[in-house]
Amino acid sequence: MTSREIRKQFLDFFESKGHLIVPSAPLVAKNDPTLMFNNSGMAQFKDFFLGNGTPPSKRIADTQKCLRVSGKHNDLEDVGFDTYHHTMFEMLGNWSFGDYFKKEALAWSWELLTEIYKLPKDRIYVSVFQGDEKDGVPFDQEAWDIWKAIVGEERIILGNKKDNFWEMGETGPCGPCSEIHIDLRDADEVALKSGKELVNADHPQVVEIWNNVFMQFERMADGSLVPLPSKHVDTGMGFERLCMAIQGKQSNYDTDVFQGTIKLIADKAGKVYGQDKWTDISLRVIADHIRAIAFAIADGQLPSNNKAGYVIRRILRRAVRYGYTYLGFREPFLHSIVPLLSEQFDGVFPELISQQDFVAKVILEEENSFLRTLENGLKLLDKITVDLKANNQTVINGEQVFELNDTFGFPVDLTALIARENGLSIDEEGYKAALQAQKERSRKDASTSAEDWVILQEVDKIEFVGYDEFETVSSVVKYQKVQNKQGTQYKVVLDKTPFYAESGGQVGDKGTISFGGVAIEVVDTKKENDLIVHFISDKRFESLVSDEPVKASIDLARRKLTNNNHTSTHLMQAALKQVLGSHVNQKGSLVNNEILRFDFSHFQKVTDEEIAQVEEIVNQKIRENIPLVEERNVPIAEATSRGAMALFGEKYGDFVRVITFDKNYSVELCGGTHVPATGNIGLFKIITETSVATGVRRIEAVTSEKAFEILREQEAILDQLNQLLKAPKDLVKAVASLLEEKNALAKKIEVFEQEKLQATKERLLNKIVSYGSINAIIEVVEVGSADALKQLAYELKAKVGDLYCVLGAEIAGKPQLAVMIADNLVAEKGLNAGQIIRELAKEVKGGGGGQPFFATAGGSDVSGLAKAIEKGKTFVNA
């Protein structure tokens, strides 16, 4: 069975059991402060388990792109070394939201594995939660009884809290789970030792393939467990491991999921998979990592220097490094795997094939820059190595290893490897200490804590009314006291609110919530999962809050300015497509009351003319005063057929909100707020155009009041210029002729300087003092520049044999010194201009240096000049 068929069979099976099949959520987690990347199938349904919102069906199944490289689940360091953990993998899952429970879930998983996939029954083991006295959670008798009837007691293993009890977080839904393990060893090995003993023992061929989680409790902040009113099922099966089992392989990488990529990379490197340990590890690392990188970029997460972007950058660098060290790649290679990968996932995760070129270009650029980093790091390491050897030392200290990694992106294990090759080692303890110190620093920065939610009323649904209302009577549903960077804050949820929560690039509203007569300020509004959370810093909140009605009012002036910028973003995106081409796709945006920022795919700088055209079109659309057409419930297929573009990496429901300004000009899927008609914007002005990443440009622009302010500032600058130049008829001409005049004068001065220099030279030639065989010229002179002083010294050297010359001058208020010594004197008398000048420079509070025959110095104390010159005599006067 091919992997494509295996995936399809899973979805077909659960569809036949009444499940709704839904698409995978993007790899990059949105609106969840606790998660950077989706790391399990349930992540996109978290809200339903928390009781916020209702699922589209009580039974759902899908395949979810997961990434386990940060936070609670981090498998990165194992990937490539073992054969069954990936960074990105597909998790097949089925869910029951308050519908079926253990009996059906376990029976179906058995049916699918043994009847449909025909996996051998005598190679399967299952686990059941043994209970935990300290936690007050009982043994899972129910699961035990169900499995006993299906597989018999001898195939059941009891599991502890670590392996068999699942919790969403420190608080929230939790419950026992039951894992399914499979023994894939050869028959003769099985004969020697029972698979049962190898379950959960990190054996590469006795692996967990499926986990069934039964959510039946809620963990409270005080640690106690409360039974959930409706119970849920959440299952996750590793697709690549399943393929290994069904295809009779002993490694995920031997399945058709990975073999194509491995072959491609091996061919490029001129290697063969399966012959050498480090070659194989590297091929696995690369075949794995390219998937994580490509899908993260396709889902909108570009590699960058912080947060999720940095995680992706590190994965990419890990792949490049293994290729560099073990496969001999000196040129970028990862990007060339993208076409094969996108073909493999065509029809499964279409986001890759439709952005193939973009993804490959981003990867290529990252590879190039990291290969440069690697080379720079190697140079630095060379230097460290040479220094150490010179001092007879053999250990690179921990701080240096840390710095190489942290500042130069140079991986620790590569440092260790190169050290070994040079007969050195690294101070691992010291490195760990430095790393730990940094972790402490960042933990301090991010430390937060939260108390339990205080619930004032049960509601089915939170309503956002802020498209139509700006002041609303509502009531508090629940609130939570938290400690974060802002200090103590209250997170407040209302049953109905006009406050727009930050999303789609638009900032959250500010405003007030009034309790009785007292208005309390709302400092920000954010989405957390599906809740609209109002942030309040005012401590009076706690004494005012009750279940009485409150009045929620947004800061309308601020909202209106934000609307101007949001609508302008739409108008500008359409204009960019007209001017630059249809490849322009949104890659990020920020809209607030001051500015709009828009990132989009485009591979060159946007020229001044193109910027002018975009401004022209947008302002034209503003003058046309096009009315807003807002539709709140358009089926997604209809919206896209009307030309609205769905953003990659964004999750949409079946019905979407469509914002249109002239159906032939701008149609977008958008949840944000907008002006009633474009005329409200008044004026649109682009202020910067820059690059943010390979293939991604950023434009910042301002509108209405802000745009007008900028024009006024520019006018003021022109006014000042006009006044300075005494109001000429033509300002540009006036400045141009001023520059011309300045250049002509500069030339004239140059001629005068030269004449003066020659005169000075003649004068000095008459002042030669002899000290034995030495001809000394030791004088303060008048010259216009340090260069002129140097020229003078050289010309004297050309004219006078056996010269010892010390010159000083005051140039633009600062002392300047030069020492020139004939080559034969340097050789015979041991005179050294570089050493002498350092002594002289002390007199003028300065420093300098040079060669034995010529040196210069500058200083800060002109009053010492005469003394410095006097001192110059002492070197020949002896």
Contact between 112 and ligand ATP by CB under 6 A: the answer reads no
Q: List Cβ neighbours of 32 (8 Å cut-off, separation of 6 or more).
A: 43, 46, 528, 529
Q: In angstroms, what is the minimal distance from the CB of 77 to ligand ATP?
A: 11
Contact between 208 and ligand ATP by CB under 6 A: the answer reads yes
Q: In angstroms, what is the minimal distance from the CB of 452 to ligand ATP?
A: 26
Rounded to an integer, what distance in angstroms lies between the CA atom of residue 537 and that of residue 486? Answer: 8
Q: In angstroms, what is the minimal distance from the CB of 10 to ligand ATP?
A: 13
Look at residues 58, 25, 30, 20 and name the one whose alpha carbon lies nearest to residue 42: 25
Contact between 176 and ligand ATP by CB under 6 A: the answer reads no
Q: In angstroms, what is the minimal distance from the CB of 79 to ligand ATP?
A: 7
Contact between 241 and ligand ATP by CB under 6 A: the answer reads yes
Rounded to an integer, what distance in angstroms lies between the CA atom of residue 443 and that of residue 448? Answer: 9
Among 13, 49, 89, 410, binds ligand ATP (CB under 6 A): 89
Closest CB to ligand ATP: residue number: 238
Contact between 211 and ligand ATP by CB under 6 A: the answer reads yes
Phi, psi of 488 (to 5 degrees): -80, 130
Phi, psi of 418 (to 5 degrees): -65, -35
What is the CB neighbour count within 10 angstroms for residue 161? Answer: 16
Q: In angstroms, what is the minimal distance from the CB of 201 to ligand ATP?
A: 11
Contact between 68 and ligand ATP by CB under 6 A: the answer reads yes
Burial of 776 (C-beta count, 10 Å sphere; 0-12/13-18/19+): buried
| Kind of pairing between the strands at 124-129 and 156-159 | parallel
Nearer to ligand ATP, 249 or 478 (CB): 249
Among 62, 234, 240, 366, binds ligand ATP (CB under 6 A): 240
Contact between 238 and ligand ATP by CB under 6 A: the answer reads yes
Contact between 209 and ligand ATP by CB under 6 A: the answer reads yes
Rounded to an integer, what distance in angstroms lies between the CA atom of residue 580 and that of residue 588? Answer: 18
Nearer to ligand ATP, 237 or 371 (CB): 237
Contact between 496 and ligand ATP by CB under 6 A: the answer reads no
Nearer to ligand ATP, 42 or 419 (CB): 42
Nearer to ligand ATP, 314 or 842 (CB): 314
Q: In angstroms, what is the minimal distance from the CB of 78 to ligand ATP?
A: 8
What's the full length of the chain, in residues? 878
**Total residues at the site for ligand ATP (CB under 6 A)?**
16
Q: Which residue has the tokens 């293993």?
A: 157
Contact between 7 and ligand ATP by CB under 6 A: the answer reads no
Contact between 832 and ligand ATP by CB under 6 A: the answer reads no
Q: In angstroms, what is the minimal distance from the CB of 257 to ligand ATP?
A: 11
Look at residues 86, 136, 424 and name the one whose alpha carbon lies nearest to residue 252: 86
CA distances to 74, 107, 135, 160, 172 from 166, rounded to whole Å, are 16, 21, 13, 11, 11
Nearer to ligand ATP, 40 or 506 (CB): 40
- Count CA atoms closer than 13 A to 225's CA, side-chain side: 18
Look at residues 120, 210, 126, 221 and name the one whose alpha carbon lies nearest to residue 167: 221
Nearer to ligand ATP, 209 or 371 (CB): 209
Contact between 99 and ligand ATP by CB under 6 A: the answer reads no
Nearer to ligand ATP, 14 or 402 (CB): 14
Rounded to an integer, what distance in angstroms lies between the CA atom of residue 560 and that of residue 643? Answer: 27
At 47, which helix (H) or strand (E)? helix 46-50
Q: In angstroms, what is the minimal distance from the CB of 72 to ligand ATP?
A: 9
Helix/strand/coil for 680: helix
At 300, which helix (H) or strand (E)? none
Contact between 236 and ligand ATP by CB under 6 A: the answer reads yes
What is the CB neighbour count within 10 angstroms for residue 509? Answer: 27
CA distances to 477, 685, 717 from 493, rounded to whole Å, are 6, 38, 49
- Count CA atoms closer than 13 A to 266's CA, side-chain side: 18
Rounded to an integer, what distance in angstroms lies between the CA atom of residue 516 and that of residue 538? Answer: 16
Contact between 67 and ligand ATP by CB under 6 A: the answer reads no
Q: Which residue has the tokens 């977008």?
A: 668
Q: In angstroms, what is the minimal distance from the CB of 146 to ligand ATP?
A: 19
Helix/strand/coil for 393: coil
Q: In angstroms, what is the minimal distance from the CB of 556 to ligand ATP?
A: 47
Q: Which residues inside 9-48 make contact with ligand ATP, applying CB under 6 A?
A: 40
Contact between 265 and ligand ATP by CB under 6 A: the answer reads no
Among 25, 60, 91, 571, binds ligand ATP (CB under 6 A): 91
Nearer to ligand ATP, 237 or 287 (CB): 237
Helix 608-623 and helix 556-580, axial crossing angle in degrees, nearest 10: 130
Residue 21 structure tokens: 């099949």
Q: In angstroms, what is the minimal distance from the CB of 116 to ligand ATP?
A: 17
Contact between 510 and ligand ATP by CB under 6 A: the answer reads no
Q: Which residues inside 69-88 make contact with ligand ATP, applying CB under 6 A?
A: 75, 85-86
Nearer to ligand ATP, 180 or 793 (CB): 180
Nearer to ligand ATP, 209 or 374 (CB): 209
Q: In angstroms, what is the minimal distance from the CB of 126 to ligand ATP?
A: 12
Q: In angstroms, what is the minimal distance from the CB of 349 to ligand ATP?
A: 16
Q: Which residue has the tokens 């490897």?
A: 417
Q: Which residue has the tokens 């990443």?
A: 693
- Where residue 117 falls (left for φ over 0; alpha for ψ -120 to 50; beta otherwise) is alpha
Nearer to ligand ATP, 203 or 829 (CB): 203
Rounded to an integer, what distance in angstroms lies between the CA atom of residue 419 and that of residue 433? Answer: 19
Contact between 58 and ligand ATP by CB under 6 A: the answer reads no
Per CB under 6 A, the segment of 209-217, 264-272, 306-314, 784-792 that binds ligand ATP is 209-217
Beta bridge partners of 65: 90
Per CB under 6 A, the segment of 202-210, 566-574, 661-669, 827-835 that binds ligand ATP is 202-210
Give me the residues that bind ligand ATP (CB under 6 A), please.
40, 68, 75, 85-86, 89, 91, 208-211, 236-238, 240-241
